[in-house]
Structure 1
Amino acid sequence: MKRPVFKSASIISAILFATTACAQPSSTQTITRSVSQNAPATGQSTPIKNPAVKSTATTANVTIAIDSRLRQTLTQAGIKAQIISIAPSNLPNLYQVSLVGQPPLHITADGKYVIQGELQKNPSKRQVTKTPTRSNSAQIGMPVSAAVKSAMLANMSELKNMSAKTPFFYTAVPGVIWGATLEGVPFLIADDAQYVTDGEISVIENGQFTGLDENFEKRKNQSVFKSLDQSQLITYPATGTEKAVVYVATDVNCPYCRMLHKQMGSLNKKGVTVKTIGYPIYEQSPEQMRGIWCQADATSRRKALDKAMLKGQMTPAPANCKVNYVTPNREKAAGLAVVATPAIYRDDGVLFQASFESPEFLEFLGVE
């Protein structure tokens, strides 16, 4: 199952995904709701007086060549909605394409990268006015620098769910940053934090939409894996020659996670090492999973997780364990933007987007 090109399809995607996954509960305080409660959606400063009439004029900042190229690219890619106008976007290095009856598109000059969504003006007082050094292609999928993150957070005081723990990553569009709330809700924001949208970046290749930017997703996920505390993953090593490594975000109360866990022995025998990220989404799960992760050593943790997954029996935390070993990796894993559990990733960052009960699963892992 492919992830949707535009967010209008994301609800359908979530419904399909839920047939073999436990859906992540919706956050009631996402970044976009916070912004929309404080500021109106904004496009360009020049109002469109007659949206029923197609505009063929170019603005002072859009050349005829770019205007023509973008119209041709979008038409070829299957955009049927009437294009009203094309003007510079409030997101860096993008042009806003206003459409009749649909949210606007924001597209790069070469027509490769596209975002669909209304932009929201950040209502926070701007504390840092200097434009940061823009990212380059080598930084795609990497966490933003400490200086950029500090400057962005300084300009986001009125936005909910934003903190030093919020993950931010460079995208393929210089000046556009991918972020996620700690609940795993993704958003895009300008690197000066002035405009934000809940859209994601899609790609047009060979005249067709191909889905989300897979190169970015892979590199971002690899960055997340590198940030995890490996000692706090419950790992089931391959028996014999290791042929594949996967990361699985799991919850002990998710029935589909339990179904996948029943395959653990078989996967290990096929040469698959499984690294389990504690990712509680059910209300009762955080404390139950803390108990499992509080066990004395790796073997004890595996036994406790097996007991929970295979028998539904939870192991309480020892009286002397007052810490929570699950939360730090769970917060870092927000950068994976998990939609539902179990979320299964190869160690190269690719998310498996079908049922783990399908024949495609072993093909995805490269084993027989």
Structure 2
Amino acid sequence: MLKRLWPALIAGGWALSGMAAAAGTDGEATAAVRKAVASLGPDVHIDVIAPAPLAGFYQVIAAGHLLYVSSDGKYMMNGNLIDLTARRNVSEDAWATFRKAELAKLPAGQGILFAPEHPRYTVTVFTDVNCEYCRVFHAHIDEYNRRGIAVNYLAWPREGITTTAGRETPTYAEMVAVWCAADRKAAFTAATQGHPSKPAHCDNPVKAQYELGERLGVDGTPAVIGPDGRMLGGFLPPDALLQALKESGQGG
């Protein structure tokens, strides 16, 4: 995977040499970029290829990373692209658009929603029932709701899905049990308080949600995503999260 290749690519100053191709048209450039990114590994899934604001480069979202690749497929850059005139992080703009579109595809009811009667904002939180700050976040759930913030939890077991021996990780198994419970909200709350549900198996979205989080650039929990797809951070106390939502002009 690209994530495993990344340290070597950065440390070694690795370039996409040998991948150059004549890019006389947009279609040819896209093909060159796709070929170059695919060369990073057999399992690299490309989600987005689009012209970048940077002349001569394409913006690529692949395997949970945002890259800038030259139109001839020869060079790759990793990092945030800043518009100095507008003073905007255009890389985060691209991520936000992608995250919002992908989250909108989730079937209704797939997450675990804690919401007030008339929410002003809804945030998506990739969470792990055993992570310390996820537990702190959920301990304040009533306060978030009182401030008009609905929280839709998606599963992201930080241990991953399976161990190196191919067995389910303990946290993955716990989160499957939560999503299989008759009362998911009660089971989730209990799990964050150190009272996991009995092991259970059912048709559940935990693995799919974990993989979605990886594609959206999640690398830790809690990962709080605003209504417009922007990553707002990890644990934010209720007033701080409300202020961040107000300042970003999202919803409400």
**TM-score > 0.5, shorter chain as reference:** yes
Distance apart, 1:353 and its partner CA? 3.9
Distance apart, 1:303 and its partner CA? 1.6
Q: Partner residue of 2:134?
A: 257
Q: Partner residue of 1:79?
A: none
Q: Which has the higher helix share?
A: 2
TM-score of the superposition, structure 1-length normalised? 0.53
Q: Partner residue of 2:119?
A: 242
8 A contact 1:234–1:276 mirrored in 2? yes
8 A contact 1:179–1:189 mirrored in 2? no
Amino acid in the other structure paired with 1:120: A
Structure 1 unmatched runs, 5+: 1-26, 42-118, 136-147
Amino acid in the other structure paired with 1:365: L
Distance apart, 1:264 and its partner CA? 1.2
Residue identity (%): 21
Distance apart, 1:129 and its partner CA? 8.0
Number of aligned residue pairs: give it. Answer: 237
User: Is 1:218 equivalent to 2:96 in the alignment?
Assistant: yes
Amino acid in the other structure paired with 2:128: D
Structure 2 unmatched runs, 5+: 160-168
> Structure 1: how far apart are the matches of 2:41 and 2:194?
39
Alignment of 1:27-42 (within 5 A): 29-33=3-7, 41=13
> Structure 1: how far apart are the matches of 2:43 and 2:235?
32
Q: Deviations over 1:87-137 (max 9, x none)?
A: xxxxxxxxxxxxxxxxxxxxxxxxxxxxxxxx62166798x98854499xx
From the superposition, tell whether residues 304 and 194 of structure 1 become closer, same or farther in structure 2 (CA, over 3 Å).
Answer: farther
Out of 228, 242, 249, the residue aligned to residue 348 of structure 1 is: 228
Alignment of 1:1-368 (within 5 A): 29-33=3-7, 41=13, 120-121=15-16, 132-133=26-27, 152=34, 156-157=38-39, 159=41, 161-163=43-45, 166-168=46-48, 170=50, 172-173=52-53, 175-181=57-63, 184-190=64-70, 193-205=73-85, 211=89, 213-239=91-117, 241-282=118-159, 284-296=170-182, 300-309=183-192, 311-319=193-201, 321=202, 323-353=203-233, 356-357=236-237, 359-366=239-246
> Structure 1: how far apart are the matches of 2:37 and 2:138?
43
Q: Which has the larger radius of gyration?
A: 1
Distance apart, 1:215 and its partner CA? 2.9
Distance apart, 1:358 and its partner CA? 7.0
Root-mean-square deviation (CA, aligned residues, Å) is 3.8
> Structure 1: how far apart are the matches of 2:91 and 2:142?
34
8 A contact 1:171–1:177 mirrored in 2? yes
8 A contact 1:156–1:193 mirrored in 2? no
TM-score of the superposition, structure 2-length normalised? 0.74
From the superposition, tell whether residues 28 and 171 of structure 1 become closer, same or farther in structure 2 (CA, over 3 Å).
Answer: closer
